[in-house]
Amino acid sequence: MKAFEFFEHTADIGVHAYGRTLEELFINAARALYEVQGRFDLADRRILKAELAANSLDELLVRWLSELVYRLSADGVCFKHFRLQFTGEQKLVAQMEGGAVDFGHSEVSEEVKAITYHQLSVKQTADGWMATVIFDV
Amino acid sequence: MHPLTKISDVLWELPQTYKTGMRVPGRIYASEPMLSRIVGDNCLEQVANVACLPGIQSYSLAMPDIHWGYGFPIGGVAATAPDEGGVISPGGVGYDINCGVRLMRTNLTQEEVAPKIHDLVSQLFRDIPCGLGEKSDLRLGRDEERKVLSQGARWAVTHGFGSPEDVDFIEESGCMAEAESSNITERALERGAGQVGSLGSGNHFLEVQVTDEIYDETAASTMGLFLGGITVMIHCGSRGFGYQVCDDYLRVLGRAPEKYGFHLPDRQLASAPIKSPEGQEYLAAMRCAANYAFANRQVLGSKAERAFLHALRISPDALGMQLVYDVPHNIAKFEEHVVNGLTRRLCVHRKGATRSFPPHHPLVPPRYRAIGQPVLVPGDMGRYSFVLVGRQQAMSQTFGTVCHGAGRLMSRSQAKRELSFDQLRRDMEQRGVVMMARGRGTAVEEASAAYKDVAEVVNVVDSAGLAKKVCRLRPLGVVKG
């Protein structure tokens, strides 16, 4: 199973992410988010925890990815390993391991500035789960 | 076959019957050759979706640089009436609130600058933080950041960035009133704390340009522009701060349609009645982000001036750098417009669209009152940009609005598939443009071939009588994120 693939959007970047489980789907969507932005070397090691809630599963995916966008934009922190636990219909507890990006030694591409709701979907498929989301760059 | 009806050679109507829920027809400014690209994109659907907004007046409008956005198309314009349940939509402003363009003129000529262009672009690239992970050298405490949000460009001037006269040449005088920073989340403040005075990435840029064609000598000389003269153009917005404000309020306003009993065809069009608490809170927060962007461009302009002085080792008088004008192109504002013979106060959403007020309009600065408001339309980094002035037909046809840029031709991934960085650099060298970019991928996505020819776009608004061409600016140096 592919982890994710990008699709055409005129001004921004569309992603289809896949996973056998919801946890895998959300982690693969996170990897797609970082893939767009470059290959980051880390200057230190940090572990952070986030508790997220939303009104629907697809909005929860936006919250999750927006959390990662915020951490990179505000603190320059990128995560490489994740442990996710869905604690209710639309609730997620995430443990994220990563660190501050060493921008001097990283291959930086473009910044994802926001996760949009346009054409957003999270669906169950024969193999597991599939999400569609567009990143604003 | 497309669903559009021809109104004139440059104007097409999307009938109200095109989609259930449309409250007004759509109108698209485009030449016939542009139409196939527009129809092939998803943006007609988006024009129709915008026509479903409660309180929308006259038409859901689209400028010739229209392309697929989310919620509104890029190049979309909608005016809503507060007293008819009209809504405010963050999707009609965009994530990068008050993304806009600033143009500065100098006394310098191409002959003086060309031999030193490499040094000059290097200096600008060193002094202007750009690209992912590059922070500004200004790190603001919360109290200081809140002053930025309430004072806009004036905050920058009082901290030594530019001169007090600059604010006369910024739309809204560089500061939107009724900005309320208590509506701003801690996350937005955190993202904004280290980014005032940084360029960011994506399609943002700083260009050193030369005026290479003049179409209206009087208007050009009124703006201090002359053939062969050097200008500086900056395209930038409210950085992570504005994105976070938009993100925060999309969540709040996402629930508003259900609460206030209206249906919208796209979640990204999340809206609330202007008179509702949610609508008022978003407006107050949006104005904070608009002021952040005005301050940001003011600081960037000042940094650019210092870089010129340092690289060229000349005096400020010899440089003669002055702000021509600064325009937002992602914004919602209350303005007076005539609808069906009545003057009304409307909320005009401009999503990738520029205000274009005509001569003698009271909101045009006195220096430009006789010629009309300067309209700045950047093109791609290899070709050229245009300066126009607003005309009267814009008031009667488009709520005083024109286009904002070239509009993309290729998607970002297509550009990366078909072009390479080395190819791009060679192409830019052949065109005589020195380019410095932080991210190679971003630069390739912004290559000329990925964009429509902006000349076609400005010719449409010129032919439609919405704005008048004044001059063309060709890049000599480009700084990209």
Contact B41 A10 (CB under 8 A): yes
Inter-residue contact A93 to A99 (CB < 8 Å):
no
**HEC assignment per residue over B100-155:** EEEEEEEEEEHHHHHHHHHHHHHHHHHHCCCCCCCCCCCCCCHHHHHHHHHHCHHH
- How much is the average pLDDT of B336-353? 97
* Chain B residue with minimum CA distance to A66: B247
Beta bridge pairs of residue A18: A130
Residue whose C-alpha is closest to residue A116's, from A103, A99, A96, A133: A133
Q: How far is CA B317 from CA B108, B283, B314, in A?
A: 11, 41, 8
Can you say whether the dihedral through the CA atoms of B458, B461, B464, B470 is positive or negative? negative
Residue whose C-alpha is closest to residue B76's, from B60, B87, B55, B54: B60
* Whole-number pLDDT of residue B201: 86
Where in chain A are the domains? 43-105
Contact A6 B413 (CB under 8 A): yes
- Which amino acid, residue B126? R
- How much is the average pLDDT of B37-41? 85
Tell me the per-residue pLDDT of B87-132, one tens digit each, with 9 for 90 and over: 999 999 999 999 999 999 999 999 999 999 999 999 999 999 998 8
- Which amino acid, residue A37? Q
- How much is the average pLDDT of B350-370? 98
Residues 6+ apart with CB under 8 A from B330: B93, B94, B96, B97, B98, B99, B100, B237, B350, B351, B352
Say whether residue A76 is in contact with chain B using an 8 A CB cutoff: yes
- Which amino acid, residue A62? V
d(CA A71, CA A87): 22
B404: annotated active-site residue: yes
Inter-residue contact B59 to B92 (CB < 8 Å):
no
Say whether residue A8 is in contact with chain B using an 8 A CB cutoff: yes
d(CA B397, CA B48): 18
Give chain B positions within 8 Å (CB) of A55: 255
Tell me the per-residue pLDDT of B40-62, one tens digit each, with 9 for 90 and over: 887 899 999 999 999 999 999 99
- Which amino acid, residue A12? D
Query: Considering CB atoms only, which of B70, B187, B190 is closest to A116?
Result: B70
Res. A10: pLDDT tops 80: no
- How much is the average pLDDT of A7-36? 93
* Whole-number pLDDT of residue A11: 75
Q: Please, how many CA atoms are within 13 Å of residue B291, restricted to the half-sphere of its CB?
A: 26
Strand ranges (E), B215-353: 229-236, 272-273, 322-328, 330-339, 342-351
Inter-residue contact A114 to A70 (CB < 8 Å):
no
Inter-residue contact B180 to B288 (CB < 8 Å):
yes
Q: Hunting for tokens 């400028």 — which residue is that?
A: B63
Residue B136: pLDDT band (50, 70, 90) is confident
Residue B247: pLDDT band (50, 70, 90) is very high
* Chain B residue with minimum CA distance to A107: B439
Say whether residue A38 is in contact with chain B using an 8 A CB cutoff: yes
- How much is the average pLDDT of B242-253? 95
SS3 assignment, position B247: helix
The DSSP string of B359-427 is TT-TTS-GGGTTT--EEEE---TTS-EEEEEE-HHHHHHSSSEE--S--BSS-HHHHHHH--HHHHHHH
Q: Hunting for tokens 């009082």 — which residue is that?
A: B158
CATH tag for A43-105 (out of 3.40.50.9100, 3.40.50.2300, 3.55.10.10, 2.60.40.420): 3.55.10.10
d(CA B190, CA B186): 6
Query: Considering CB atoms only, which of B201, B246, B270 is closest to A111?
Result: B201
Inter-residue contact B103 to B374 (CB < 8 Å):
yes
Residues 6+ apart with CB under 8 A from B312: B108, B113, B116, B119, B120, B319
CB pairs below 8 Å between A and B: how many?
107
Torsion from C-alpha of B243, B248, B251, B256, nearest 10 degrees:
-100
Contact B411 A8 (CB under 8 A): yes
